[in-house]
Amino acid sequence: MLRAAAVAAAVAAAACAREESPAARTLAVRVNGVELPARIVEAEIARERASGRFNPKEASARGLESAIDQELLVQKALEARLDRDPEVMRALDEGRRRVLANAWLDRALAGRANPDESEVNAFYAANPSLFAQRRIYALREIRVSGPAPQLTALRAAVEAASTPEEIDASLARAGLPRDVHESTQPAEALPLALLAKLQSMKDGQATVVDSAPVVSVVELARSIPAPLAPQQAAPVIERFLAARRRAELAREEIARLREGARIEYPAGQGPGGRERAPREAPAIPVNASLEPNAGERIGALAPASLLYDKDPQS
């Protein structure tokens, strides 16, 4: 199904490009006689930017070459009549439904999710560790695994230790398997629970992070002040607040549509006479990442590079 979805997405993109009138598009390149509009290249550049690998000096060239590669694959897929493949057709229909659903939400919520200046300023003031008191942290994490009773005893010993040497001695006495990982991360890339502890720690101190079924010992090697001024943080905060508000408004819009809809479940299916439980959207952490596929990084409000972009929309 993954293969079918990938083919469907490529075929759909190519079909849209082919259906546009020549007067409505700017030519970027021809591939085997097929004209690709500039917007296809611009879409590839946007994906580069969203991936976190965006390099302004290479973006145009990379976007163009990526669009050419995609068109070559689409042409082969169409030659093989994969657009008639049942799985590909199903994936195309699913993609069309998602696009239409999002298009309606975009229109229904237009302008309603944008925060005002007072909301941005309040968020900035409420999260000093991410902005006014932001720091870059050099960390050493030791993850220890083993039987629960031994981990409980180790956790108590580590919490009682006052120096890195005492922590190392406790770990050595436990004799349990452990992995060591060193990293340097900005405040926005860290889980809020850990960030709250690090703020009050001095260089050389350590803390135990609740990460069952292992014991995770995080040592603060050093930290460097790297505050963000309100004008630097404002674009990122605006995007975060807008995304959070949009999710709330989308749930309200769907609830409104359900109230006026006639929904008929097949016999034996659906909630029956029970009250339908509200569908909860995934919670957005207060410093959630704007990067796609970064949901597992509980901490990132935005990549460090985005925090300094003067024009994040460019």
Could you give the CA distance from residue 97 to residue 206 in angstroms, rounded to a whole number?
50
36 — phi, psi (to 5°)? -105, 125
> Among 93-97, 154-158, 229-233, 276-280, which stretch is predicted with the lowest mean pLDDT?
276-280
DSSP 253-298: HHHHHHHT----PPTT-S-TTSPPPPPPPPPPPTT---STT-TTST
pLDDT, residue 171, reads 82
> Among 54-68, 92-106, 264-278, which stretch is predicted with the lowest mean pLDDT?
264-278
Q: How far does Cα 284 stand from its chain's mean position?
A: 10
First to last CA, the chain: 35
153 — phi, psi (to 5°)? -65, -40
Q: Which residues contact 149 (CB under 8 A, 6 or more apart)?
A: none
Residue 247 pLDDT grade (very low, low, confident, very high; cuts 50, 70, 90): very high
Tokens of 197: 């502890």
Task: Report, as an integer, the average pLDDT of 182-189.
Answer: 91
Read off the pLDDT of residues 263-293 as tens digits, 9 standing for 90 and up: 888 876 766 544 455 454 444 443 433 233 3
Task: Report the range out of 47-51, 117-121, 303-307 with the highest average pLDDT.
Answer: 117-121
Read off the pLDDT of residues 128-161 as tens digits, 9 standing for 90 and up: 999 999 999 999 988 888 888 888 888 888 878 7
Q: Whole-prediction pTM value?
A: 0.57
Residue 23 pLDDT grade (very low, low, confident, very high; cuts 50, 70, 90): very low
Residue 25 pLDDT grade (very low, low, confident, very high; cuts 50, 70, 90): low
Could you give the CA distance from residue 171 to residue 141 in angstroms, rounded to a whole number?
13
Residue 217 pLDDT grade (very low, low, confident, very high; cuts 50, 70, 90): confident
Q: Give yes or no for a contact between 169 and 276, defined as CB atoms under 8 angstroms apart.
A: no
Q: Is the pLDDT of residue 198 over 80?
A: yes
Neighbours of 252 (CB within 10 A): 12
Calculate Rg over the CA atoms of the chain.
Answer: 25
Q: Could you tell me the residue ranges of all domains in the chain?
A: 2-108, 111-134+227-262+278-314, 137-186+202-223
Over 91-134, what HEC string results?
HHHHHHHHHHHHHHHHHHCCCCCCCCHHHHHHHHHHCCCCCCCC
Tokens of 259: 């109230």
Q: Give yes or no for a contact between 228 and 305, defined as CB atoms under 8 angstroms apart.
A: no
Task: Report, as an integer, the average pLDDT of 121-127.
Answer: 94
Q: Residue 37 to residues 18, 21, 25, 82, 188: CA-CA distances in angstroms?
A: 9, 10, 6, 23, 38
**Stronger pLDDT, 207 or 50, i.e. the higher one:** 207
- Output the average pLDDT for the chain: 77
